[in-house]
Amino acid sequence: AAVAAGGALPFLALALASAERTRSMLERTRAALGDAPWGVGVLGFADEEIKAAQLDVVRELKPTHAIIAGGRPAQAAALEAEGITTFLHVPSPGLLRQFLAAGARRFIFEGAECGGHVGPRNSFPLWEAQTDVLLDFLAKSGPGTAGELTVLFAGGIHDERSAAMAAALAAPLTRAGVAFGVLMGTAYLFTEEAVAAGAIQPLFQRRIVAAERTDLLETAPGHATRCAHSAITEDFAALKDGLREQGVPDREIWEHLERFNVGRLRLASKGIERVGDELLPVDEIRQADEGMFMAGEVCVLRSATTSIAALHDSVADGAAAWLRERAAGLRTALGLTDAVEEPAPAPLRIAVVGMAGMFPGAPDLAEFWANILAGKDCVTEVPAHRWDAERYYAPDGDGERTPSRWGGFLPEIPFDPLRYGIPPASLASIEPVQLLALEAARRALADAGYAGTGTDHARTSVVFGAEAGSDLSNATTLRTVLPGYVGTIPSALDEQLPRLTEDSFPGMLANVIAGRIANRLDLGGANYTVDAACASSLTAVDVACKELITGTSDLVLCGGADLHNGINDYLLFSSVHALSPTGRSATFDGAADGIALGEGVACVVLKRLADAERDGDRIYAVIDGVGSASDGRALGLT
């Protein structure tokens, strides 16, 4: 009642109580609390007969809330159907994923710092892992899902600092709309009301206040109970060691230890023991010598009693004040100004009205989409005409050799130079990436319906993400610098290396990827190529959206083009140990061992959404926002 009066939600542990005992406790609690919310704690792993009898009473008397430790989603759903808000203890990320898939939405994440039965993970690693699982779940779920979730952190929470730390860790969840709270147990053992109401005996509280360490009483793997150190925890350890020395089987050891523990919490906390069908009082000497003082690590951190009101204030308003003060102190120490919450920017509202692309195993978008639907793996071994795997590949490649001979390679893409007014004789001096980007841009413009001769392209711009250099520029550079090292180029090599022509200079410049598109398609807006390494095409999207938002362009051909699968690229990536020896990228996976290189050319046609809707364009998608940032003085340079 004192917990409820203090604004919190009290829970009544049913443990292994009989149906009669359960009914008595629930009726008395309901009478004491009136209309205030309250709940019961049920052991999902208890004997089926005991558990069924308890749940019958719970369904009849209907507390507002329930907690099931070691329970399953189906058990929670049955109580939820009766109007009882039900939480499940979830000790691991794998189990949380299963419970989410089964429809459960209310959880308790209790770390091993707690008292009583403990799980396998300490609080902060558990809370962090479970938060990541929930955020991943929300990212894949529809709007409104966050509002269905409620989580309680437990295990070691008892004061301003611990509650503030839990709240800070849960911030991504609360920001997403998930309801969050904390669950405390051991902290209440320090309250004056716990003794005054008879929940525990004075000796129990004195021993908890004086505790300097806790012990885990493990009866079997995965079955451990945390208690304050006492004579009985020493006796337990001695009994366990003795049984092992005698060669007693593990099952029998478990049975011995479980029998040893029976009734000792009641003896310590209530000062009574069961004799036959009666509960009889014991003196404080036996209570101290034979009782089990079950408590969490909090008992080592606190050294004085408190009141429920003071405890609640410390983990609520006190924690909020502590967090604000600590954050202000850190900002001052780091030379940061006070945080000012910036208003969220308005959505960009940029429409994608056309697109085209060429990818490994797919000369066009139709084939690319078919490959996706079929789950086709388009990573292959390097084609022989690209580079010689026999010469350059070695499983333990160290920069002189590559540990990967796999990649995503474009198929042969037909290109008609005369269609673009390019003399066929010029092709040998032009990087293929320029030609394929031109082809992709033409296809995308046609897909958008703006390829006709009557279309005004005075305010149509081109922005492509790309990186300079490829096999042609490498070979041309070799012809240029080799004589400085060896004198005359050997005749056999001289015949193979490209010769400089009037087309070579523009044919190898990365900026001409966009320039050639603007020139050949007669586009009058801005044109430029951006290079941001692996983020080049996304950076092009960012720049293209800004062209449209600022009003300097009405239509933008935005693309990305990369044909860097030459041997030079493989050896460079190999020199920094970035290539996957298996030839497969495994993003965010524990099996990840590097990246796989791939080629591709793609182009989208972007237009302000309002203009696209006005003109009746087909709209594939809408871009609401693009963000970019750097890590400052961190490990990365890109």
Q: Can you give the pLDDT at residue 338?
A: 64
Residue 94: CB atoms within 10 Å: 11
pLDDT at 309 over 90: yes
Order across the sheet with 527-530: list the strands: 527-530, 460-466, 555-562, 600-608, 350-358, 621-623
pLDDT in tens, 508-526: 999 999 999 999 999 999 9
Confidence of residue 346 (pLDDT cuts 50, 70, 90): confident
- Select 2-186's CATH number: 3.40.50.2000, 1.10.10.60, 3.40.50.460, 3.20.20.70: 3.20.20.70
Domain(s) labelled CATH 3.20.20.70 in the chain stretch across: 2-186, 192-306
Where in 268-400 does DSSP place strands (E)? 272-275, 278-281, 350-358, 380-381
Radius of gyration of the chain (CA): 35
Q: What value does the mean pLDDT take over residues 434-455?
A: 94
What is this structure's pTM?
0.55
Q: What are phi and psi of 356, to 5 degrees?
A: -160, 160
- Select 354-457+469-501+557-605+612-623's CATH number: 3.30.70.100, 3.40.47.10, 3.40.50.720, 3.30.559.10: 3.40.47.10
Instruction: Point out the least confidently predicted range of 207-211, 329-333, 445-449, 508-512.
Output: 329-333
Q: What value does the mean pLDDT take over residues 300-324?
A: 95
pLDDT in tens, 588-611: 888 899 999 999 999 999 999 999
In CATH terms, the fold of domain 192-306 is TIM Barrel (3.20.20)
Confidence of residue 622 (pLDDT cuts 50, 70, 90): very high
Q: Can you give the pLDDT at residue 542?
A: 96
Q: Can you give the pLDDT at residue 339?
A: 58
Residue 51: CB atoms within 10 Å: 19
Q: Can you give the pLDDT at residue 336?
A: 82
Instruction: Point out the least confidently predicted range of 32-36, 44-48, 558-562.
Output: 44-48
Q: What value does the mean pLDDT take over residues 204-218?
A: 94
Identify which of 416, 427, 415 has the alpha carbon closest to the alpha carbon of residue 504. Answer: 427
Q: Can you give the pLDDT at residue 397?
A: 81
pLDDT at 398 over 80: no
Confidence of residue 399 (pLDDT cuts 50, 70, 90): low
pLDDT in tens, 609-618: 999 999 999 9
Q: Pairing relation of β-strands 39-43 and 85-89?
A: unpaired
Instruction: Please state, rounded to an integer, the average pLDDT across all residues of the chain.
Output: 92
Q: Can you give the pLDDT at residue 452?
A: 81
Domain(s) labelled CATH 3.40.47.10 in the chain stretch across: 354-457+469-501+557-605+612-623
Q: Can you give the pLDDT at residue 343?
A: 80
CA–CA separation, 450 and 603 (whole Å): 14
pLDDT at 360 over 90: yes
CA–CA separation, 173 and 564 (whole Å): 41
Q: Can you give the pLDDT at residue 468?
A: 84
- In angstroms, what CA-CA distances link 330 with 166, 315, 333? 18, 21, 5
**All residues at 6 or more sequence positions from 268 whose CB lies less than 8 Å from its CB, including other chains:** 201, 203, 204, 207, 287, 291, 292, 293, 294
**All residues at 6 or more sequence positions from 23 whose CB lies less than 8 Å from its CB, including other chains:** 57, 61
pLDDT at 300 over 80: yes
Residue 169: CB atoms within 10 Å: 17
Q: Can you give the pLDDT at residue 632?
A: 81
CA–CA separation, 541 and 321 (whole Å): 43
pLDDT in tens, 233-277: 999 999 999 999 999 999 999 999 999 998 899 999 999 998 888
